[in-house]
Amino acid sequence: MNYRDSSLTCAAPGPSSVRRAAKGTIIYRQNDPAAFRFEVVSGVVRTSYLFMDGRRQLTGFFFAGEAFGVEQGLYRTSAEVVSDGAEFRRFSWGDKDEDERALNQALELVENSILLLGRRTALSRMAAFLLDVRARTGEGGCIHLPMSQADMADFLGLTVETVSRSFSQLVRQRLITRLETHLVRFLDLGRLGALAGTEFEEA
Q: Answer yes or no whether residue 157 interacts with DNA by CB under 7 A.
A: yes
Between strands 67-68 and 56-62, the pairing is unpaired
**Does residue 70 belong to the site contacting a second copy (CB under 8 A)?**
yes
The neighbouring-strand residues paired with 121 are: none
Listed in sequence order, the DSSP H helices in 138-188 are 149-156, 160-172
* Residue 71 binding target from DNA, a second copy, none, CB below 5 to 8 Å by type: a second copy
Can you state the angle between helices 149-156 and 160-172, rounded to 10 degrees? 100
By CB under 7 A, residue 165 contacts DNA: yes
**How many Å from the N-terminal Cα to the C-terminal Cα in the chain?**
40
Interface of this chain with a second copy, residues 81 to 140, rule: CB under 8 A = 96, 99-100, 103-104, 106-108, 110-111, 113-115, 117-118, 120
- Tell me the C-alpha distance between 57 and 59, whole Å: 6
**Size, binding site for a second copy by CB under 8 A:** 32
Closer Cβ to a second copy, 34 or 41, answer by number: 34
Query: What CA–CA distances, in Å, run from 159 to 21, 153, 179?
Result: 28, 5, 23
Residues that bind a second copy (CB under 8 A): 49, 51-53, 55, 57, 59, 70-72, 76-77, 96, 99-100, 103-104, 106-108, 110-111, 113-115, 117-118, 120, 157, 197-199
Residues that bind DNA (CB under 7 A): 1, 120-123, 148-150, 157-165, 167-168, 178, 180-182
